[in-house]
Amino acid sequence: MAADFARKDARHAQPGAATLAFPVLHDLAQSAPVDRALRRVVRNAITLINASQAALLLYDAEARTLVLAQTAGNARAQWPARRIALGEGIIGTAAAAGQPLCVEDTAHDGRYHPSDGHRAGALLAVPLWDDDVLLGVLVAASERVRAFGPRHSACAEALADAAALVLGRASANLATEADQRQLQTFVTTARAITTLPDPHAVFESIAGGISRMVAFDDALIAAHDPATHALHVVASQGQRSAHLCDQRVSLHDPQSISVRVAHSRQALVYTPDAALDRPGHITEAFLAGEDLALLCVPLLTYDTLRGVITLARRQPFTSDDLRAMSDLAPLVATALANVALYAAIKAEQQARTHVLQVISHEITSPLHTLNGYLDLTLTGVGGPVDERQGQLLQRARASGARLAAQVQDLLLLAYDDTGELPIHLTPVDVRRVLHEAVAAVEIAATTAGVSLHLHVPPAVPLVLADYERMSQVVRNLLSNSLTFTPRGGHIWVEARASATALAISVADSGCGIAAEHLPHIFDRGYRAPVAPEMVRSSGQGLGLAIVKALVERHGGTIQVVSTPGQGTRFTVTLPCGRVAADHSPHRA
């Protein structure tokens, strides 16, 4: 005889409509705090319901079975089985119906089949629900018939709710932690995409992020190469996959799992016992003869195939793993797109640098020859030179020198674009750099009627820098100030040192720069508009761009403060760590 004590909030949802992955549920139940709480619930069932035995079974939705997790009470009695199919016996029937089921006398119920012949008198089974998710069943048994009434059923339901609450909160905490890990992975991946220029560094960062979301033993990232109609393995992680980097898989390979995913643009979960053909040779090499599960996800941006990512491990991948990787796939696809774009830009920059090098050589060689002949002519080797001829020759020589300097400036910026600008770091005496730079422009400043002021403390620490490049920085700043400072003006050069940095400033009392032009003054070719009478000479607008490039190559920064009509101050800040005492300042 069975009695149904229907709950007021009885669920009518079918088990499996919404589920919690059993491995997750099982791991939760095995964790120390949850295990203690569930054990207490089962023991309370013995005390409060007057049961001789109680148990808690967890629901495995994928297998549609109930798995024994906790027991308490009479050790002589054994449960029918450690796994009970949904709908099987009294316990399986209660789970399938989604409502409590009380059997007053199991002797008259054909659904009860104890494996050891020890029959319980009465049995009470109450499903555990978390919203509409079936988590398991709480079971109480008594050796007496008709041992359970409505009061016992109500108490069992309360205990079942307590067990469900424990599992539900633990699951929510786990989901929150997973969401936090996923968010952190997204942030880390996005940062790697935008800040790491090296493709290998990007993919290593991505693989590390994936491992925080989905457990795997090995991973392969293959980029789509439209030119060769193939998938090119650009990154790998794990012992099995290390030798597969740089391999290519033809998109015409019908056996390749990666190719299937690339064509279908749908994720695929592969298990060794799945009804699929054996994978292609690259995947076979990836598996290395082992029966591993694979999770393969396409990488798409705006319906454009960028590649495929494949994960492998011994345990089967779950729907949660698939969902996590599907969420991450667009970021990985963006990384592939950015790496391809970066490679194209770098190739273009290298080609441009090569062209500039050729042009530079074709220009500088005859230019140096021309300047040499002009110098010889000025010395009178070719015959007497009168005053007028000498003035013309001097102008021609000055123009040749400016042209040669402009060619070198263009070449320097071209090298900087490709990251190939040579910087030779040695301990440098900044005092010497400043004194020589001021001396180099002293004649020009005197001619222009501009006063130079140099203020450098007696003790300035050595800095690791390229002597010639740092001299160029200071000369360019002085030249810029001299250009925009009228007759009777002043230019100040100063140096200040702290424990961690050295600041070099060049300030002038010139025409200044309007605030709207300050963000652009380091752009190549940019010249802030000023009155023609305020400009002493014209240039190509490359001097400040070169200063910024050289300072940043030294790991430093440059700042500018300006007030129209009053002047401008440029401040270069360089790191100055400790330099070995036996180093001496660089000598030219």
Domain boundaries, the chain: 2-175, 183-342, 346-417, 426-575
CB 313 within 8 A of CB 214: no
The structure tokens listed for 495 are: 């140096």
Count CB neighbours of 315 within 10 A.
12
* Longest alpha-carbon distance in the chain: 135
Q: Position of tokens 């023991």?
A: 43
Q: Position of tokens 């599960």?
A: 293
Give the model confidence (pLDDT) of 324-373 as tens digits. 888 878 877 877 777 777 777 778 877 877 777 777 778 778 878 887 88
3-state secondary structure at position 493:
strand
3-state secondary structure 355-400: HHHHHHHHHHHHHHHHHHHHHHHHCCCCCCCCHHHHHHHHHHHHHH
The structure tokens listed for 362 are: 């074709």
Distance in angstroms between the alpha carbons of the first and the last residue of the chain: 106
Is residue 15 pLDDT above 70, yes or no? Answer: no
Give the model confidence (pLDDT) of 558-586 as tens digits. 999 999 989 999 999 998 754 433 444 44
Instruction: Report the distance separating Cα 557 and Cα 107, nearest Å.
Output: 88
Helix and strand element counts for the chain (H, E): 12, 20
Of 353 and 21, more confident = 353
Give bridge partners of residue 341 from the DSSP assignment: none
Q: For residue 388, what pLDDT is reported?
A: 84
CATH classification code of 183-342: 3.30.450.40
Percent of the chain whose predicted confidence (pLDDT) is above 90: 15
- Listed range (123-127, 166-170, 255-259, 304-308) with the worst mean pLDDT: 166-170
| Beta strands, E only, 11-116 | 53-60, 65-73, 83-85, 101-103
3-state secondary structure at position 503:
strand
Distant-in-sequence, close-in-space partners of 514: CB < 8 Å, separation ≥ 6? 528, 564
CATH of 426-575, one of 3.20.20.140, 3.40.718.10, 3.40.30.10, 3.30.565.10: 3.30.565.10
- Listed range (118-127, 310-319, 399-408, 490-499) with the worst mean pLDDT: 399-408
3-state secondary structure at position 218:
strand
β-pairing, 490-497 vs 451-455, is parallel
β-pairing, 53-60 vs 248-250, is unpaired
Q: For residue 587, what pLDDT is reported?
A: 38
Encode 46-81: b = buried (16+ Cβ within 10 Å), e = exposed: bebbebbbbbbbbbbbeebbbbbbbbbbbeebebbb
Q: For residue 27, what pLDDT is reported?
A: 60
Q: What is the mean pLDDT of residues 519-534?
A: 73
pLDDT classification of 430: cutoffs 50, 70, 90: very high
Q: For residue 344, what pLDDT is reported?
A: 79
Of 198 and 486, more confident = 486
Instruction: Report the distance separating Cα 100 and Cα 124, nearest Å.
Output: 7
Encode 92-111: b = buried (16+ Cβ within 10 Å), e = exposed: bbbbbbbbbbbbbbbeebeb
Give the model confidence (pLDDT) of 77-119 as tens digits. 555 557 888 888 899 999 999 999 999 988 888 888 765 556 7
Q: What is the mean pLDDT of residues 189-199?
A: 57
Instruction: Report the distance separating Cα 67 and Cα 137, nearest Å.
Output: 9
Instruction: Quote the CATH superfamily of domain 2-175.
Output: GAF domain (3.30.450.40)
Q: For residue 491, what pLDDT is reported?
A: 94
By C-alpha distance, which of 40, 51, 44 is closest to 148? 51
Q: Read off the amino acid at residue 224.
A: H
Crossing angle of helices 319-378 and 150-195, rounded to 10°: 10
Q: What is the mean pLDDT of residues 157-175?
A: 78
Is residue 125 pLDDT above 50, yes or no? Answer: yes
Q: What is the mean pLDDT of residues 56-77?
A: 80
Q: What is the mean pLDDT of residues 223-236?
A: 86
The structure tokens listed for 271 are: 């298990």
Percent of the chain whose predicted confidence (pLDDT) is above 70: 79
* In 418-450, alpha helices (H): 430-448
pLDDT classification of 427: cutoffs 50, 70, 90: very high
Q: Position of tokens 């002047």?
A: 567
Q: For residue 257, what pLDDT is reported?
A: 84
CB 60 within 8 A of CB 67: yes
Instruction: Report the distance separating Cα 131 and Cα 438, nearest Å.
Output: 79
Q: Read off the amino acid at residue 212.
A: R
Q: What is the mean pLDDT of residues 171-197?
A: 59
CB 310 within 8 A of CB 267: no
Q: Position of tokens 């990251």?
A: 419
By C-alpha distance, which of 432, 503, 428, 424 is closest to 463? 428
- One fold for both 183-342 and 426-575? no
Instruction: Report the distance separating Cα 212 and Cα 207, nearest Å.
Output: 9
- Listed range (448-452, 492-496, 580-584) with the worst mean pLDDT: 580-584
Instruction: Report the distance separating Cα 510 and Cα 543, nearest Å.
Output: 17
| Chain-centroid distance, C-alpha 444 | 52
Of 447 and 197, more confident = 447
Of 363 and 224, more confident = 224
Q: For residue 287, what pLDDT is reported?
A: 59
